[in-house]
Amino acid sequence: MSLFLTTVSVEEAIRAARTLATPLPSEELPLSAAYGRILAADIRADIDIPGFNRSSVDGYAVRSRDTAGASETMPAILGLSGHVAMGDSGYRNLLPDRCLYVPTGGAVPDGADAVVMVEHTESIGGDILVKKPAATGDNVVARGEDFRAGSVILSGGTRISPREIAALAATGTTTVPVVTRPRVGIVSTGNELIPVEDIPSGNQVRDSNSWMCGAFLIEQGCIPEYYGITGDDRTLLREVLGKALSRCNAVIVSGGSSKDDRDMTADLIREAGEVLVHGIALTPGKPTIIGRANGIPVLGLPGHPASAFVVLLVIARPLLSRMTGQKDQELVTKSFVLGENIPSARGREDYVRVRISEGKVYPEFGKSGLVNTLIRSDGLSRVPSGVEGLEEGDRVEVILW
Amino acid sequence: MSLFLTTVSVEEAIRAARTLATPLPSEELPLSAAYGRILAADIRADIDIPGFNRSSVDGYAVRSRDTAGASETMPAILGLSGHVAMGDSGYRNLLPDRCLYVPTGGAVPDGADAVVMVEHTESIGGDILVKKPAATGDNVVARGEDFRAGSVILSGGTRISPREIAALAATGTTTVPVVTRPRVGIVSTGNELIPVEDIPSGNQVRDSNSWMCGAFLIEQGCIPEYYGITGDDRTLLREVLGKALSRCNAVIVSGGSSKDDRDMTADLIREAGEVLVHGIALTPGKPTIIGRANGIPVLGLPGHPASAFVVLLVIARPLLSRMTGQKDQELVTKSFVLGENIPSARGREDYVRVRISEGKVYPEFGKSGLVNTLIRSDGLSRVPSGVEGLEEGDRVEVILW
C-alpha cells in the first residue's frame, strides 16, 4: 500500500482497458428499433437501387442526339408520345424524334438517355420544342447508381444514424444485425455516500457519480445496472461486486473519494483477477483502477465528479467501443484561441474544463470535487503530456459538451 | 398551380415554422429516466452542497496561521489530535497548534481553515511536521461552494446530459420535471413508394424517407408514429392525414418526389388550415411545405432523400425545439479549408454534402435523389445566400455527421 500511485500514460491505460474488453455477440432488430445501435455485420444491397433509370426532374425523356444543336431560336421539335405515370411499371420504348413526359421520380423509357427539364421546353400542339441540347445521362439516375446489387453499403461497426436508417430501408433491410448492448454494473463505494433521495447530515455526500455514470452509459449505448452503495464494508462490497460481475459484461466501481476506498476496490479486484493499472498520468483522473475480475473488465473511478467524468470520456469510452465493435471515433473537437494561460506539467495529460466567451476559450479552474464546474463549463480542452502548458493566443481544440 | 414555387428565405421559413409550434406541457420522471430529456422548469439546490467544509486531499487540517513561515528546514510542529473518519458526522473543534488527519472528502473540523497535503508533512511520534505554509482555504471545498441552498442550478430548456444528471442527483432531485416528448406523425405520399419489406418492380421505390425521418425524430427527442403510405389517392391521404392530425403534436408528410404529390399535400393542408410556405430558397430542399392543419404544424418534405434530410436539419429541428422548449442550440460545426470550388447562386442557401480528406474538405456532388451520398459523405457545408459560391482555399464550417 503506497501513498503514491505508480502511474501509466493515458495511451497505455487505454490499451490496457481495450485488451480486457471482449466484443459482444449480435442480435437482430426490426428497422424501427435499430437507430443508435452498432451494426454487427456488413450490409449488402439486395437489388440494384434504383431498379430502373429514374428521372430526377419533371421533364421530357429524349434521345439526346435528337436535341443536338437545339437553342432558343432553333429548338428541336419532338413529337409527344404521352406521359409516364408515377409508379408505372411498364417500360415504353421511345421512338426517334419523339419524347415522353416524365415526372420527377418516374421511369425513363427504353430508348431515352436524358431528360430535358420542363423549364427548357415549350409545348405547341402535340409537339414539344426543346430549347437546349441534352447530353447522355442528363437528369437521369441510372439503374444501380445509388446501390449496386450485392455491394456492401454499410460496414459492421458503423453506428446507425438516421442516414444509415435510410440506406437500410432503401435496401430492404427490415431485420438489422446489431451488437447487443453491454450491460454495465455500477457499484458505489465510499462511507460518506448516501442515496440521492436522502438529506445529507454531517459530512455525508449524495452519490451523484453513479447516476452520472449511468447516464453516460446510456449515451454510449449501454444498459446501466445500479447495485447501490456499499459504504466501506469490505464483505458487503465483495458480495455486491460478485453479484454485478456475474450478471454484467463490465463493472464500474464508482469510488468514494478516499484512498482507503480505492485500495479496498483494488484488493477485491485482485482477489478475483488482476489489477492492470492503478494510477494514470491524467489530470483530473489520476487515481483510476483498470482491472479484470471473473474475466470481465472492472473500472474503478475516482470519487471527484469532474475526475470521474474525464475518466469516463477518456478511458471508459474506448473500452466500451471495443465491446460494441464500434469503429474508433475521435471525439469531435472545435478549434478556438486560448484567452488565458493554462499551466500544466510535462508527462501528464490534462483535461481542463473551459468556458467559451466571445469566440475565445478560458480555463475554468474549479476544484475537481465540484459538480458545478461540469455544468458551468462549455467543454474540455486537452493539454498533451509532452508540453508544459498552453499559452494565451495558442489555438486549442475543445471537446464541446 | 404554378410550375415555379414562390420561395421564401431560410430565415423566413424557420420563423414561420416556429410560429406554428406550441410549447408542450411537462411531466415528471424519475432521475433514472431523465437522461436526454429537456428540463421543463428551473431546478434549485435544496441545501448547501457540500453541507460542510470538505477536504479535497488526504492531509492534515490546520489553522493556517499555525503554519506561517514553515519550510523544509524549519517545519511547523503540530500535535496530532486524531483522525476524522469518512462519513463522520461529529464536528470536532481544532485547538491551536494542533492538527487532525482528514481523508479526501472528509469534514474539515471547526477551527481549521486549511488542509496540508500528506506529501508536505512528516510524522514524528505524536507530532506532525508541516513543511510548507498553508493559506486560508487551501484544499478545502467550503460549505455551499458547489451549490448554494435555494440557488438555480439548472434552468428550464436545458437538455439533460450526464453532467446535468450529476447536478440533479447532487441536489436530491429524484423527480425531474421534463417537457413531454412531441408525438410526430409520419405520412408517406407518392404513388411510386412501396413498403421497405417489398421488392420493387417497375419504377417502384422503397419508402426509405419515412424511416430516416422517424430515426431523426427519435434523435431529436420525439416519438415517431408511422401512418404508412397513401399513394396518390387524395381521399385516402385526407383520411390518414386527419387521423395523424388528431393524434399527434405535429405531422410530417414525407412526399413523393413528383410535383403532383406536393400539390395534393398543400391542398389538403389548406382544407384544414393554411399553407404558410411552399418553397424555400434552399438547395437541396426547395419544394418544402410549411403549414398548419387542425391547429398543429404540418411539414411537407421533398421526396429526394438528401433534400429531405437537409430540411429535417434546417427546418424541422428549430420547429421541434420550440415545441420542447429546448434552448436554441447552434449546430456544432468544425472549420476546414476547402479543397475545391463550390459554385452556388446568390439568393439561396446551399447545403453541400462534403468529404473530409487529409484535413481538407471536398464537395460530394451527388444527385440529391441518391441515398449513398448521405452515407458516403462526412458532413454538410453551408453556402450562405449572400455569396456566389466558395473557392478553394476558403475556410468553411462543416456540420459533421
CATH number at residue A92: 2.170.190.11
Residues in chain A with CB shorter than 8 Å from the CB of B163 are 212, 309, 371, 374-375, 401
Question: Looking at the predicted structure, is the pLDDT value of residue B220 above 80?
Answer: yes
Give the end of a domain, one of B117, B141, B165. B141
Q: What is the pLDDT of residues A163-189, one digit of tens each?
A: 999 999 999 999 999 999 999 999 999
* Total structural domains within chain B: 4
- In this structure, the answer to whether residues A165 and A190 fall within a common structural domain is no
Q: List all residues 6 or more positions away from B315 whose beta carbon is below 8 Å from its beta carbon.
A: B10, B13, B14, B17, B280, B285, B288, B290, B299
The chain A residue lying nearest B379, using CA atoms, is A163
pLDDT tens digit string along A294-340? 999 999 999 889 999 999 999 999 999 999 999 877 788 888 999 99
Q: Which among A50, A204, A215 is the nearest to B165, CB-wise?
A: A215
| Domain assignment of residue B147, yes or no | no
- Which one has a higher pLDDT value, B14 or B56? B14
Interface contact B137, partner A, CB < 8 A: no
- B148's grid cell: 448554494
Residues A30 and A168 reside in one and the same domain: yes
How much is the pLDDT for B268? 95
Residue A1 lies in a domain: no
B367 touches chain A (CB under 8 A): yes
Question: In terms of Cα–Cα distance, which of B133, B160, B176, B143 is closest to B44?
Answer: B176
Render the burial of A383-397: b for 16+ CB within 10 Å, e for the rest. Answer: bebeeeebeeeeebb
- Categorize the per-residue pLDDT at B42 as very low, low, confident or very high, splitting at 50, 70 and 90: very high
Query: Nearest 10 degrees: CA dihedral of B315, B317, B318, B324?
Result: 140
Shared-domain flag, residues B75 and B41: no
Distance between B399 CA and the closest CA of chain A, angstroms: 11
- Calpha distance A25→A31 (Å, rounded): 18
Residues of A in contact with B50 (CB under 8 A): 200, 203, 205
Instruction: Determine what percent of chain A is predicted with pLDDT higher than 90.
Output: 80
**Same domain membership, residue A360 and residue A272:** no
Q: List A residues 262-301 in contact with B (Cβ-Cβ < 8 A).
A: none
Q: What is the pLDDT of residues B69-122, one digit of tens each?
A: 999 999 999 999 999 887 665 467 899 999 999 988 889 999 999 999 999 999
Least confident among A35-49, A387-401, B174-188: A387-401
Distance (Å) from the alpha carbon of A88 to chain B's nearest alpha carbon: 6
**Contact call for B303 and A105, based on CB within 8 A:** yes
Nearest to A401 by CA among A181, A159, A219: A219
- Asked if the Cβ–Cβ distance from A147 to B196 is below 8 Å, we say no
Q: Are residues A219 and A289 both part of a single domain?
A: yes
B14 Cα distance to chain centroid: 18
Q: What is the mean pLDDT of residues B235-255?
A: 96
CATH of the domain at B354: 2.40.340.10
SS3 B247: helix
Q: What is the mean pLDDT of chain B?
A: 92
Pairing relationship of beta strands A250-254 and A296-301 according to DSSP bridges = parallel
* A3 falls within a domain: no
Buried residues in B247-256 as b, exposed as e (16+ CB within 10 A): ebbbbbbbbb
The C-alpha cell at B273 is: 388550415
Give pLDDT tens digits for A247-257: 999 999 998 66
Same domain, B69 and B33: no
CB contact under 8 A, A56 and B367: yes
Residues A188 and A273 in one domain: yes
Number of H helices, E strands in chain A: 8, 28
Report residue A216 as a C-alpha cell. 453516460
More confident: A84 or B122: B122
Arithmetic mean of pLDDT over chain A? 92
In a domain, B252, yes or no: yes
φ, ψ dihedrals at A180, nearest 5°: -60, 150
Flag if A85 and B191 touch (Cβ within 8 Å).
Answer: yes
| B257 at interface of A, judged by CB pairs closer than 8 A | yes
What is the C-alpha to C-alpha distance for residues A140 and B229, in angstroms, rounded to an integer? 25
Q: Across the interface, do A375 and B153 touch by the CB < 8 Å criterion?
A: yes
Is the pLDDT at A224 greater than 70? The verdict is yes
- Confirm whether B314 is domain-assigned: yes
Whole-structure pTM value? 0.92
- A200 and A243 part of one domain: yes
Range of the domain at A175: 26-46+149-179
Instruction: State the CB neighbour count (10 A cutoff) for residue A235.
Output: 8
Do both A309 and A186 map to the same domain?
A: yes
pLDDT above 80 (res B175): yes
SS3 A230: coil
Quick one: average pLDDT of A203-229?
Answer: 95
Chain A: residue whose CA lies nearest to B397: A334
State yes or no: ipTM above 0.90. yes
Q: What's the CA gap between B265 and B188, in Å, rounded?
A: 10
Distance from A226 to chain B by nearest Cα, in Å?
Answer: 10
- Assigned domain for A2 exists: no
Q: Say which CATH number the domain at A16 has.
A: 3.40.980.10
Contacts of A167 in chain B (CB under 8 A): 208, 371-372, 374-375
Cβ contact, residue pair A54, B206, below 8 Å: no
If asked whether residues A196 and A308 sit together in one domain, one would say yes
Question: For the purposes of burial, counting CB atoms within 10 Å of the CB of B72, is it exposed (0-12), middle (13-18) or buried (19 or more)?
Answer: exposed
Q: Tell me, yes or no, whether B235 and B290 share the same domain.
A: yes
Contact (CB<8Å) B105/A168: no
Q: What is the pLDDT of residues A120-136, one digit of tens each?
A: 999 999 999 999 999 99
**Position A217 in a domain:** yes
Residues A93 and A129 in one domain: yes
Residue B117 distance to chain A (closest CA, Å): 11
On the question of a cis peptide bond just before residue B177, with omega within 30 degrees of 0, the verdict is no
